[in-house]
Structure 1
Amino acid sequence: MSSVVTGPLAIVGAAGAAIVFVEIVHWLVKRVARRSPLAADLARTMHKPFLTTVTLVTVQQAVRIWAGDFPGRSGVVHALVLLCIAAAAWLVGATLLVLEDMALARWRTDVPDNLKSRRIKTQVVMLRRVTVAAIVVLTIGVMLMTFPDIRALGASVLASAGLISVVAALAAQSTLGNVFAGLQLAFSDAIRVDDVVVVEQEWGRIEEITLTYVVVQIWDDRRLILPTSYFTTKPFQNWTRTSSAVLGTAEVDVDWATPVEPVRAELQRVCEESDLWNGKVCVLQVTGATDGVIRLRALVSANDAAALWDLRCLVRERLVGWIWQHQRAAVPRMRAELAKAVLPTGVPAPQRGPDADSDAESDAARVFSGGVDGDARGVVFGGPVPVALERKD
């Protein structure tokens, strides 16, 4: 009778003592957290897993020592052991997550020069996923090893591990390929979180990198989901591979009569007045002169791709407005020459020149024949010139 009363009282007392101990530790950590961000994160994140772990371990030891023999004792003890393993895994995982969050907080990405921060953030996020997966696998393995029957099968499992690994590799070849590709992306700096990329003819930023897929946020808030192996097997554009600053163009077609220097001065004024420009590149060049128009290309720079997009639109808008207001003659025109097919009665027909009936062509109209240089080019690109066709001096 004494054991029936003593056992439950001991278990309840042990659980109560564990709870009191954890709350005292939590109160002390909260006091320290007023001066330490790390202690604040520990107090907020690890309170529940620490309380659960300490309480379960204390109760499990109390059952072993004070409960004595009772029906189903081994099952209760085994269940408490499994719960202790799960709680310990929760505590370890919470601790690692706090450390990873501390690393992420130290390397902020919301600053202008965030190249190194984005690389570290990508690696930490990938390590977090690997850590969680490893803790879950190890916890399940340790819990299974507490069953005697499964421990007896250990030798046979190890003996057949080679065959199982081959079968698993063949069955999950694509998944494993994506997993290894994800690890390669995390540590090769091919892409990082917040990188601006162009994939599948879509412009966007890397929003998330996992072990098996990458999420690209398109500029219009769509999401493009791609397997990680895509970025290791296919070409793509990374606009922020070495720095966040990028260059962009805004093109305007104008008439040939347009004076370029005033437009160039207006571009400089627009860039200097805009807070989107980073003060590095502001150039206006004539890059084409075809189809009755000349093409002006404004090359500007910004600190990031988002600012560059707005700056390009601003430059294009301001240049178009300024040209319409100050150089309206520069608006593109379409020129055409009108001629009548039939001459009026009484108007003599135009006379042909003295050589109009001759089939001879000027040497200036030939590239690969006619003249010493033309014949030489003809030999190079078309073979020897026939003797019967050689020019007579």
Structure 2
Amino acid sequence: MGWSLVRLIVVAVAAAVTAYALNRLSEAVARFLAARGRTGTTPSLPLLRGCRPPLLAATACGLMLAGEPWARAAPAVHAAVRHLLVLATIASCAWLAARLVALLTSGAMQLADRRRDPARAGRARTQAGLLGRICQAAVAVVALGAMLMTFPAVRGLGTSLLASAGLVGVVAGIAAQSTLANLFAGIQMAFGDLIRIGDVVVVAGEWGTVEEITLTSVVIATWDQRRLVMPMSYFAGRPFENWSRRTSKITGTALFHLDHRTPVPELRAEFDAFLAKSSLWDGEGSALQVVDTTPTTIVVRALMTAPDADAAFALRCQVREHLVGYLCEAHPHALPRLPVAPAAGQEAAHP
């Protein structure tokens, strides 16, 4: 019994020394790469260093598991120690797999950010993030199942569990119907290219930017710094507006209710001159037209293109402010009026 304990201690010390040597070696490599400037400024370096603890834990557990038979402990002690080492090895390997998935996801997002096309970059980041979460969830489920299967009592129930898998699946499907619907809706949204991180959307009458996409929900940052958390199934089953699905360019509109005597050609020339000086206008299109009339006013619509929704909103506000000021100063008679007396000549026509 005493020699068995000594052998166990020797195996543990050997595993710890090996893990320590690997730790020092990985730290030296990380410092060398950082000194040369290859990865020292990239966001992946902290995550790469974060893979060291699970790697060392998995290595130590694996070495101890391999060297445990050499200890020749008593049968009861041997079974307990081996079972504990198996559980620790499975847990550390799952930890390492989850960190590797996070590292690959981070690398994919960095490659996506280097693309010149914002739409493709957003699509790649969305898909990489969603796949990373799904893989991490799968790693956790597999690891938990593997750890449970190491217990003889759980293995003994395997036959009965498989026999009742159909009933359990139906019950679980009914109980998790909402969660599964959101999960499959998220996969459909990500790979159907319907919505991406950074897209400008209008959902339930709210305008905002897609800030985060999880397995079951979408977080939208509104213009007034609120956060809307919408279930993923909402986007799969209801219509919504995506203002930047193919391109972020958008056309802004400004409406003016003016008097019938408004000099539209002069107003159009002033509108064109203002756009030519504006840095918010992308130069692709503009128009100023009379789109409707009422008994007391005409409706003038100003159209202008902008590179994105934020610029379009700001440009619309500036156009309204400038043209109203121009009319007040140069053509005050063009402003809308509310008639409160008969027009000139109306009394003579109707005595």
TM-score, normalized by length of structure 1?
A: 0.80
Q: 1:144 to 1:71 in 2, by over 3 A?
A: closer
What is the aligned counterpart of 2:285 among 267, 281, 295?
281
Distance, in Å, in 2 between the alignment partners of 1:45 and 1:318 is: 56
What is the aligned counterpart of 1:310 among 308, 314, 338?
314
Percent identity over the alignment is: 41
Counterpart residue number, 1:65: 70
Counterpart residue number, 1:180: 184
Counterpart residue number, 1:15: 16
Counterpart residue number, 1:383: none
1:161 to partner: Cα distance: 0.7
Matched to 2:208, the amino acid is G
1:336 to partner: Cα distance: 4.0
1:162 to partner: Cα distance: 1.0
Residue 81 of structure 2 corresponds to residue 76 of structure 1: yes
Counterpart residue number, 1:322: 326
Counterpart residue number, 1:251: 255
Distance, in Å, in 2 between the alignment partners of 1:144 and 1:9 is: 29
- Superposition map of 1:19-98 within 5 A: 19-32=20-33, 34=36, 36-37=38-39, 40=45, 43-66=48-71, 68-69=73-74, 72-98=77-103
- Would the aligned equivalents of 1:118 and 1:193 in 2 still touch at CA under 8 Å? yes
SS in 2 for 1:59: helix
What is the aligned counterpart of 1:292 among 280, 285, 296?
296
1:87 to partner: Cα distance: 0.8
SS in 2 for 1:244: coil
- Superposition map of 1:1-393 within 5 A: 1-32=2-33, 34=36, 36-37=38-39, 40=45, 43-66=48-71, 68-69=73-74, 72-108=77-113, 113-338=117-342
SS in 1 for 2:285: strand
Deviations 1:60-115 (A, max 9, x none): 3343423633864422321221111111111111112111111111112896x411
SS in 2 for 1:288: strand
1:259 to partner: Cα distance: 1.0
Between 1 and 2, higher relative CO (CA 8 Å, sep ≥ 6) is seen in 2
1:41 to partner: Cα distance: 5.6
Matched to 2:110, the amino acid is A
Between structure 1 and structure 2, the one with the greater Rg is 1
TM-score, normalized by length of structure 2?
A: 0.89
Q: 1:98 to 1:281 in 2, by over 3 A?
A: same
1:328 to partner: Cα distance: 1.8
Distance, in Å, in 1 between the alignment partners of 2:187 and 2:323 is: 47
1:133 to partner: Cα distance: 0.8
Matched to 1:14, the amino acid is A
Equivalent pairs counted in the alignment come to: 341
SS in 2 for 1:192: coil
> Which runs of 5 or more residues in structure 1 are unaligned?
344-348, 351-393
Distance, in Å, in 1 between the alignment partners of 2:3 and 2:156 is: 39
Q: 1:116 to 1:267 in 2, by over 3 A?
A: same
